[in-house]
Every structure is written in structure tokens, then in C-alpha cells.
Structure 1
Amino acid sequence: MARGKGGGTTYYHKAAQKWVAELRWVDEATGKLKKLCRYARTRREAEELLAKMVAERAQGLLPEPSQVTVVQFAQRYLQGLEGEGLRPNSLRLARQELVYALPSLKDPSAHDPLGRMRLQEVRPLHVQRVVDQLRQGYAPRTVRKVLNRLRALFQRACELELLPRNPAGAIRLRLPQGERAARALEPQEVLRLLEVADGARSREMALLLRLLLETGLRRGEALALQWRDVDLERGELRVWRSWTKVNGKGDFTQPKTRTARRVVPLPQSLLLRLRAWKEELAQRLPQEVLEEAFLFGGNKPFDPDAFNHYLRRLAQRAGLGKVRVHDLRHTWASLALSRGIPLEVVSERLGHASPHVTLGIYRHLLEEERRGYVVDLETLLGLPAVRPQA
């Protein structure tokens, strides 16, 4: 059904077995005729699509027709991240997250329905199918990261006016009941883990474990520490870089945000252990060599994967099941918040960009805490307690 000049038309496409909303217009810059088609299941949906296309064109929001596929745009997106100076390890993770959803980004011959679609054809349903498929074989935390990366990818397309809206924005990933992306150990579980660690042979690994549990540092931040970064008189340490693995090799990287550079106070028990460890090393190393040495590894930091293996074996011996390195950081934050340490202080210690980041990660715990703070008017005014009726 034609709508007159500039109004577009709708019709049924027999081969595709779908209704088509088609809008044609003349590009004022080139004088060439342009056409944009969108498909719908019913005539009514096609009419609604056409009306939306006409309105978007009038407002200058209608994307120019493009044959760019999702994978092609993903390649441009990653090149843009590299040009923005994204750290090598972060760039590697971004690419890996996209490969989970777009296999042809790594292997051009791979089965990849979403990746081979035209970018402008992608709808929320297509993204939902990919997410549902990923949930069959990957951990919830991995699937969430992939979804967030897809949101960022399509959001960039929106900013470039290639898309009118983000097709991944409407997707919600709900974790199964009782399952969360990270695990917070209970106090008795922390005690058991430390008991087993103190009984093991590796004193350095046990000390690293305590440092992570008592400060909330990231693994890479702790491994990058040299003795010159630790002030045993003031009882604090300075975080300014991270030791991570990039392309199979250890390397130093700079913090992601300004707030990740921070000074972290040390608990008294941990401070005493660090002093004792440094005094022991001072008997074997000259002072100038000791100050340049790393807390964990000596002249070179431990391999980042070494502590992962250590923690896995330790947790198994402690009967705690699977415990990941990030769970230690999550444990510190959860214990701190549950004991009334202000959100702003916890966020600063963790090196988050803002308290909003911390709130988004630990909202479940904060809500539980807030439910505990209620005002009982009867108790406040000294009135008799109300007894439930039989």
C-alpha cells in the first residue's frame, strides 16, 4: 500500500513470506535514490515499522542503508579500541568476549548466524538467541561479560548513527536462583582456608593469600608490589600498576582508571607478618636489592597463573569446593560492607571508578543490610508489643 510521495509503502514478499515496509527517498547530496526495507510478520507490524521509519527520517535519526555485517563492524570496533590506547590484556579480553558470540571473528569458516547478518538487520531476538546458546555451555559470569561487550559494540554503532537503537539493550540475563557471578566466603570458610594455608609449605603463597583477603587487592596489583611500595612505618602500601599475562607472557600494565592508583592501609596482623617476612629477607639481601625486590617472587613476580593453581588446590584440601581468585576480593568487600564500612570507603579501597560501580556489584548484599535497619514505632515509644492474633 503506497502512502504518497515520501510516505513509503508496504507489501507482501512471497519469496520471503514476510511483509515489507519500504521507504524511498532522494539523497540531497548525491541526487541518488535510496531505499530502506524492513521486514515484519504481519501487515499491521509492517505499517507500524513504516510509520516509525518516516518519523525517524523526518527527525534525521534514520540510519543510512549499509551492507556492513556484524563481524565487519566488530573488527572496526576492536581497531577503534586499540587506537584509543586500550591495554593489551584488556584488548585481548574484549576480542575473546566477542569471539564467543561471533565465532567467525576468529575463524571465517565458523558457523556464525549473528556475525554474518547485516548490522542493521539485527534485532533483540537475534541477540537473545546467541545469549541462550552461550548459557548452555558457559558460566554465568562469562555470559554476562559477552552480553556487556555486545551492548558496547552495538552502542558504538548507535553513536555512529548506523543503528537507531541498541538491539542488545533489551536483553536481561538473570542468574539461576542462588547463583551469583562471584562467591563471597563465609567467615568460617575464610578461617578454614587460612588454617590450611598456614599448614602448607609455601609461606609466600600463604602471605599473598592473606594480603588479598585483608585488602581486597586484585591479584595483578598484589603481584606487582615491590618492597619500596610498602611503608611499614605508616602501615600502608601503594598500588600503581599490575602484573598480568599478555599473550602467554607476564607484563606490567597501568591501572584502568585514575582511582585504581591508590594507597591502601594495612591491618595490624598483616602488617606484622609483612615486617617479619621483610626482616627475614634482609638477612639474605642487601638493603638496596631488597627495596627493588618483589614481595612475591623476589627478582621477578610470580607467574599470574601460579596463584590460581595454588588457590584451587588449597580450597579443595580445605573442603570448600571451587574458589576463584576474584572470590577473595569479593569476600573482602562483602565482609567490609556487612560490618558497616561506608560504601564510599569500600569503593576507594577496591579502586573502583565510583561508588556506583561498587553498588552495582554488591547491590544484593546492601539490600540485605538495609532490610535490617527498620524503625519499630512500638519499641521506640515504649508501647506494649503487639501479639499476633490466634
Structure 2
Amino acid sequence: MVGVVGSSPIAPTNFGSFQRQVTAAKRVFQPEHFTVLKTKDLAMTDFESSISRLHRGTRKIDLRAALSQQDQSQEFAADLLFSELCRAYSSTHYDGSDLQLRKWIDLFDGRLAWSVTSEELDKAGVAMIEHGYSPATVNRNISQIGSLYKWAARRRITPVGFRSPTLGMVRYPEEIRRVELSDDEVQKLLDGANAIKDRRFAVLIRLLVDTGARRGEVLERSWGQVDMEKREILVPTTKTGIPRVLFFSKETKQFMERVWTPQEMANETALLFESKRVSLQPIAFKRHWLWLVSSIGRQDLRMHDLRHHRAKEMLDKGAPIAVAAQALGHSSQILTRRYGHLEVSSMRKAVTQSW
């Protein structure tokens, strides 16, 4: 069933997506304004009822109150320190950002989050290069700060009129890192991962090889975002800000069913790779990865190289760069810059085979 607000269709929702919509909307409103109602077996607030009516075609929202609440949130965050913003961001991201942001927290210690300038970031980048950091590493650091401010903007906690200091910054020239990883070496990684006591590590490696996803995009997933029947994983928030779906193989599905019980997979809020030491946070598996690459004699490999391998495989099999970019969550320009030479090879093969 499709609901309509005015003339705009609203996609059918299930209970999970409906609850997520309610949770997101409540950020704008004060909870004490609602009374709890009972509808069948579902406890609903007045506001949840109004959301339900929205799906039936009725508008119920006080826009003045909503915008006023947003303004109050922005005023509250105006005195947020850079260190506080970084720690808030790192508490919800498990991509190593906490380690990368440490030097920046030290640099801007005691500073307001919104007082950092492009000039300061540029000078810091030059200093890093002069002290031996590669331009690629500096670019990743600046990109991380950009992601930090994008996240703050999406959370609507930036002051009115704030503009990220990373906007308009020119990337430092860098050599593109191309790592050759043979099919035989990939198989050694898959086989070697089985030697780790925590079987979830082997699942992680399989998923990274299958999907070409970023490490954090897999580590942060809960069972409610996994569809075992379709062999799909929903990534609602990505580095580019565009949600996407990851696809994994039948073999990986069967392996996952050996690692987790049906009861464990039915717990929609549980993380697939939740740390046994820190609740609600995924395990990073850094030590396990270092052991694995050492065991096959490829200490130069990073987990991210499995992403490059999947991109190469897709392009070698004839996938257009635009399709590969969408599957990997990259921009077409970035993929062209890194893998454009592979698409030329595919085009030559297609043309010569047509003769």
C-alpha cells in the first residue's frame, strides 16, 4: 500500500522503518509534549499517530514549533569544542577516525568546533608533508575532518551560516596507490582467516572481498540491516552520504549460517561484529588482520585493498565505471582517476572480439 501526501507518493513502510522515521522526527520535538496511546499491540505517541496519519494522506505538523526547536539545537551547539565534536563523531563511527583525529584534537585543543579555518588546515597539511607524511595521508586527514563537519551538518548542530573549512581546499598532489592482488592471494586470505579463533573475522574478510565495501560499512551493521534471503546488506549512511546496498555470495551466506545461530540472526538490534569487551561497539580486528597478511607474506596489504580488488574485478569483467562506482559507493570521477586504465582494456577487448 502506498500513502500519499498531497501529490507526493510515500513508499510502503514496515514497522522497523516506521520506527526509525519516528525516532528521527522526535529529534525536532520535545518528548514531554506527547501522551502515550495504545493501538493494537503498538504503543504510540500523539506524534507517532500523526506520522501514521501522514501515511494515510493527512498533514499534522506545527512547522513553526519544528523550526524553533531546530534553532534551539543550533544555539545549544554553538559553544561546542572541537574535541567534543570529534569524540561525539567517533562514538558513532568505527572506521579508525578516533585515531586519525587525535593529532587534530591536540592542535585545536580548547578551540570552538566552528572556529577552525581553511588556512589553519592548509598550514597543518604542509607541516605534515614536511615531517614525512605522504600527500595521500594528509588528504585522508583533511577528508576525515570534512566528514566530521558533514556529519554535524546532517545532525543540524552547526551554527546558522556555518561553512565547513574543508570546502574549497585543494587536494595535495598524490601518487595513486595501485596494489596488485592475485586471485590466489585472495584465496589465501580467505583460507588463512579460518585459522582465527573468532569465526566472525573470516566472515568479515569474505564480506569485504564479496562487496568491495569500506571496513566501517560492514563492521557497523546490525542484523536488522541484513537480508539473508536476498543476500543483501543495507548501508543507510555512507562516506558519500548516499545509502546503498551491498551484495554477498551464496557461499558467504552459508558460511554465516554456520557462524551465527538463527536466534542470534533474529536479534535485529545486535551488531554482527559486536565487541565482547565493549557493548554496542564493533571489534576492529586489527591484530587479526596483521597476523593474516604476515602469514601470506603480504605485510603491505590493507583491508581497504580488498575494495580495490573488487573494483578491478568488476571492471575486468566489463562493468562500466558508472555501474562500478554506484556499487562501491564511489564518485565516477574518483573511480575513473584510479581505474580508468582498466576500463580502456575492457573496451579494447569488447571491440576486438566484435571483429
TM-score by length of 2: 0.53
**CA 1:225–1:132 in structure 2 vs 1: closer, same or farther (change >3 Å)?**
closer
Unpaired segments of 5 or more residues in structure 1?
1-74, 109-114, 154-159, 242-253, 383-390
Whether the aligned pair in 2 keeps the contact of 1:216 and 1:330 (CA below 8 Å) is yes
SS in 2 for 1:239: strand
Question: What's the CA shift for 1:98?
Answer: 8.2
Aligned to 1:311: 289
Q: 2:305 aligns with which of 327, 335, 355?
A: 327
Q: What are the Cα deviations for residues 160-189 of structure 1, in whole angstroms up to 9, with x where unaligned?
A: 899xxx99968552335xx62x74633232
Q: Distance between the aligned counterparts of 2:146 and 2:224, measured in 1?
A: 41
Note if 1:269 corresponds to 2:251.
Answer: yes
Note if 1:105 corresponds to 2:108.
Answer: yes
Aligned to 1:206: 202
**CA 1:132–1:375 in structure 2 vs 1: closer, same or farther (change >3 Å)?**
same
Q: What are the Cα deviations for residues 215-265 of structure 1, in whole angstroms up to 9, with x where unaligned?
A: 12333332333444333333x223245xxxxxxxxxxxx5556532x3333
Aligned to 1:259: 242
**CA 1:161–1:348 in structure 2 vs 1: closer, same or farther (change >3 Å)?**
closer
Aligned to 1:134: 128
Note if 1:360 corresponds to 2:342.
Answer: no
- AA aligned opposite 1:133: A
Aligned to 2:173: 174
SS in 2 for 1:325: coil
Q: 1:143 aligns with which of 123, 128, 138?
A: 138
Q: Distance between the aligned counterparts of 1:99 and 1:226, measured in 2?
A: 28
Q: Distance between the aligned counterparts of 2:354 and 2:240, measured in 1?
A: 49
**CA 1:76–1:172 in structure 2 vs 1: closer, same or farther (change >3 Å)?**
farther
Q: What are the Cα deviations for residues 147-172 of structure 1, in whole angstroms up to 9, with x where unaligned?
A: 5579999xxxxxx899xxx9996855
Whether the aligned pair in 2 keeps the contact of 1:99 and 1:106 (CA below 8 Å) is no
- AA aligned opposite 1:218: R
Q: Distance between the aligned counterparts of 2:145 and 2:219, measured in 1?
A: 31
Whether the aligned pair in 2 keeps the contact of 1:212 and 1:328 (CA below 8 Å) is yes
Q: Distance between the aligned counterparts of 2:318 and 2:221, measured in 1?
A: 29
Q: Distance between the aligned counterparts of 1:87 and 1:259, measured in 2?
A: 20
- AA aligned opposite 2:298: L
Question: What's the CA shift for 1:320?
Answer: 0.5
Q: Larger C-alpha radius of gyration, 1 or 2? A: 1
Q: Distance between the aligned counterparts of 1:226 and 1:270, measured in 2?
A: 17
Question: What's the CA shift for 1:214?
Answer: 0.7
Question: What's the CA shift for 1:127?
Answer: 7.8
Aligned to 1:190: 186
Whether the aligned pair in 1 keeps the contact of 2:232 and 2:246 (CA below 8 Å) is yes
Whether the aligned pair in 2 keeps the contact of 1:227 and 1:291 (CA below 8 Å) is yes
SS in 2 for 1:225: coil
Whether the aligned pair in 1 keeps the contact of 2:232 and 2:245 (CA below 8 Å) is yes
**CA 1:191–1:297 in structure 2 vs 1: closer, same or farther (change >3 Å)?**
same
Q: Distance between the aligned counterparts of 1:141 and 1:273, measured in 2?
A: 36
- AA aligned opposite 2:242: T
**What RMSD, in angstroms, separates the aligned Cα atoms of the two structures?**
5.1
Aligned to 1:344: 322
Unpaired segments of 5 or more residues in structure 2?
1-77, 149-160
- AA aligned opposite 1:204: R
- AA aligned opposite 2:127: Q
Note if 1:373 corresponds to 2:355.
Answer: no
**CA 1:184–1:308 in structure 2 vs 1: closer, same or farther (change >3 Å)?**
farther
- AA aligned opposite 1:175: E
Aligned to 1:296: 273
Number of residues of Structure 1 aligned to a counterpart in Structure 2: 258
Aligned to 1:29: none
SS in 2 for 1:264: strand
SS in 2 for 1:173: coil
Q: Distance between the aligned counterparts of 1:231 and 1:376, measured in 2?
A: 35
- AA aligned opposite 1:363: R
**CA 1:139–1:227 in structure 2 vs 1: closer, same or farther (change >3 Å)?**
same
Q: Distance between the aligned counterparts of 1:143 and 1:196, measured in 2?
A: 33
Question: What's the CA shift for 1:99?
Answer: 7.8
**CA 1:349–1:197 in structure 2 vs 1: closer, same or farther (change >3 Å)?**
same
Q: What are the Cα deviations for residues 360-389 of structure 1, in whole angstroms up to 9, with x where unaligned?
A: 145231234315634999x8999xxxxxxx
Aligned to 1:34: none
Q: Distance between the aligned counterparts of 2:110 and 2:210, measured in 1?
A: 43
Whether the aligned pair in 2 keeps the contact of 1:101 and 1:146 (CA below 8 Å) is no
Q: Distance between the aligned counterparts of 2:293 and 2:341, measured in 1?
A: 29
Q: Distance between the aligned counterparts of 1:143 and 1:272, measured in 2?
A: 41
TM-score by length of 1: 0.49
Whether the aligned pair in 2 keeps the contact of 1:315 and 1:323 (CA below 8 Å) is yes
Q: 2:234 aligns with which of 230, 239, 243?
A: 239
